[in-house]
């Protein structure tokens, strides 16, 4: 019998499908606004200088081998990554209140966190922003934690729907998990202000909900690693317990190396030890232990003051190229006399911008102008450069007509 005959064809991933369509299109002016990875002004992938140097040093280092890592990963990497995220002077770290494990980039770290919660906390649901990065939903569905949405995006203001979000948090079942993008919200590019974060934290703490921060873009939003970690650090400084998934895909350009970590901030060191021991059980059965190469690279960069500085400077340049392109796109739209308020293009932050274009307008962008983007109106700012920004502005203006 055909053992697999009943299996239905799965729909293609909308993000990866955009890349395939872009690659197939022979049009000379095509623009990839779907890309979820940084591109230089020449449209090329970037390898950070510090990464190149660290890799060179690793090849020469006689102490480096290809043995297995421990279940929770490379000790030096995990310690340095945690300090980068929470601050070297973090009281939670000093008090040994953070259970940390290397993870398979941001996605894998979210996944082990989700499974840990499902097995040990049995939350009634996880609240996820509407909209969000699609994989958030799938990850929690995979571990049988019911997914609920909280309002986040307000079309009229092309900004945050804070009242809607707070109301949803206030009504969440006791023991719910709340997933938060720590900076550079994907797909909207809209982050809460410090005051808005404080109001969000007040509700989470008052209702004793459990925060799960997704940190996929530290340093990539403002160019400042400290500023982009503000929300997480502020929450912890108020005594909040939380999980944080951390990725080095975007901020170190290590997409394919799958390097990241999961941190679980607890109330005391005794709890932390027990939590880490059980987290390792989750990892052991899933992939036994994480990959080595990215951990060696990041441990080297974070542990070497000169390389670290070089990385931070280049990262600042990356973030600022995106910020510059936001301004250039906005000015391009104004120059064409576009109707309406487009200030959200410059007030949004990080890799993505939620344009507010309707699905039909997105079709015009794609089919007439060869500007590949998601049908929800999300464009990746990294696909925009000084050579194509005017073309993209013209496409957006035309799509409205």
Distance CA(126)–CA(146), nearest Å, equals 6
| Residue with the two structure tokens 């064809």 | 9
Q: Which of 214, 228, 311, 342 is catalytic?
A: 214
Q: Is 219 in the site for ligand PLP (CB under 6 A)?
A: no
- Candidates 22, 38, 133, 311; binder of ligand PLP (CB under 6 A) is 133
Residue 95 CB, nearest approach to ligand PLP (Å): 28
CB contact at 8 A, 399 and 365: yes
Q: Is 213 in the site for ligand PLP (CB under 6 A)?
A: no
Measured at CB, which residue is nearest to ligand PLP? 106
Q: In the window 160-189, what residues touch ligand PLP (CB under 6 A)?
A: 181, 186
Residue 216 CB, nearest approach to ligand PLP (Å): 4
Q: Which is nearer to ligand PLP, 342 or 352 (CB)?
A: 352
| Residue with the two structure tokens 């929300």 | 231
Q: Is 118 in the site for ligand PLP (CB under 6 A)?
A: no
Size of the site for ligand PLP (CB under 6 A): 13
Pairing verdict, β 177-181 and 210-215: parallel
Residue 250 annotated in active site: yes
- Candidates 87, 106, 223, 377; binder of ligand PLP (CB under 6 A) is 106
Own/partner contacts of 163-171, CB < 8 Å, gap of 24 or more, are 165/129, 165/200, 166/199, 166/200, 166/203, 168/127, 169/127, 169/200, 169/203, 169/204, 169/207, 169/209, 170/203, 170/207
Distance CA(187)–CA(131), nearest Å, equals 7
Distance CA(162)–CA(57), nearest Å, equals 48
Residue 172 CB, nearest approach to ligand PLP (Å): 21
Q: Which is nearer to ligand PLP, 14 or 91 (CB)?
A: 14
| Burial (0-12, 13-18, 19+ Cβ within 10 Å), 60 | exposed
| Residue with the two structure tokens 């990356």 | 318
Q: In the window 359-388, what residues touch ligand PLP (CB under 6 A)?
A: none
Residue 107 CB, nearest approach to ligand PLP (Å): 3
Distance CA(354)–CA(375), nearest Å, equals 11
Q: Is 105 in the site for ligand PLP (CB under 6 A)?
A: yes
Percentages (nearest 5) of helix, strand, coil residues in the chain:
45, 15, 40
- Candidates 118, 188, 247, 348; binder of ligand PLP (CB under 6 A) is 247
CB atoms within 10 A of CB 45: 11
Q: Which is nearer to ligand PLP, 183 or 364 (CB)?
A: 183
Q: Is 216 in the site for ligand PLP (CB under 6 A)?
A: yes
Q: Is 249 in the site for ligand PLP (CB under 6 A)?
A: yes
- Candidates 161, 214, 228, 257; binder of ligand PLP (CB under 6 A) is 214
Residue 214 annotated in active site: yes
Pairing verdict, β 159-160 and 153-154: antiparallel
Q: Which stretch binds ligand PLP (CB under 6 A): 99-107, 147-155, 271-279, 323-331?
A: 99-107
Q: Is 107 in the site for ligand PLP (CB under 6 A)?
A: yes
Q: Which residues bind ligand PLP (CB under 6 A)?
A: 36, 105-107, 133, 181, 186, 214, 216, 247, 249, 255, 260
Active site residues: 133, 214, 250
């Amino acid at each position: 019998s055909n053992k697999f005959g009943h299996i239905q064809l799965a729909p293609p991933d909308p993000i990866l499908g955009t890349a395939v369509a872009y690659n197939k299109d022979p049009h000379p002016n095509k623009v990839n606004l779907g890309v979820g990875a940084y591109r230089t002004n020449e449209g090329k992938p970037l390898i950070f200088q510090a990464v190149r140097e660290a890799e060179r040093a690793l090849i020469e280092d006689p102490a480096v081998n290809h043995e297995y890592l421990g279940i929770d990963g490379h000790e030096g990497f995990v310690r340095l990554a945690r300090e980068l995220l929470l601050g070297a002077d973090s009281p939670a770290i000093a008090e040994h209140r953070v259970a940390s494990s290397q993870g398979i980039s941001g996605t894998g770290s979210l996944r082990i966190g989700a499974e840990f919660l499902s097995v040990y906390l049995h939350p009634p649901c996880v609240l996820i922003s509407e909209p969000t990065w699609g994989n958030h939903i799938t990850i929690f569905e995979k571990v049988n934690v019911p997914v609920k949405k909280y309002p986040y995006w307000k079309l009229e203001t092309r900004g945050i729907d804070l009242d809607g979000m707070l109301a949803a948090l206030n009504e969440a079942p006791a023991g719910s998990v709340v997933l938060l993008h720590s900076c550079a919200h994907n797909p909207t590019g809209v982050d809460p202000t410090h005051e808005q974060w404080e109001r969000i934290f007040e509700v989470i703490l008052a209702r004793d909900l459990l925060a799960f921060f997704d940190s996929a873009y530290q340093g990539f939003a403002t160019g400042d690693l400290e500023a982009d970690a503000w929300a997480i650090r502020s929450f912890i400084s108020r005594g909040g317990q939380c999980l944080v998934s951390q990725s080095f895909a975007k901020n170190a350009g290590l997409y394919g190396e799958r390097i990241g970590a999961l941190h679980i901030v607890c109330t005391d060191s005794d709890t932390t030890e027990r939590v880490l021991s059980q987290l390792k059980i989750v990892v052991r059965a899933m992939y036994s232990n994480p990959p080595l190469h990215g951990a060696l690279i990041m441990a080297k960069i974070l542990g070497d003051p000169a390389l670290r500085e070089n990385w931070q400077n280049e990262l600042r340049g990356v973030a600022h190229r995106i910020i510059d392109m936001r301004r250039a796109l906005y000015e391009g739209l104004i120059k064409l006399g576009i109707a309406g308020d487009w200030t959200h293009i410059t007030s949004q932050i990080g890799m993505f911008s939620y344009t507010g274009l309707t699905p039909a307008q997105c079709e015009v962008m794609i089919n007439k102008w060869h500007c590949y983007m998601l049908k929800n109106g999300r464009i990746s700012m990294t696909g925009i450069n000084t050579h194509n920004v005017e073309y993209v502005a013209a496409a957006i203006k035309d799509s409205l007509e």
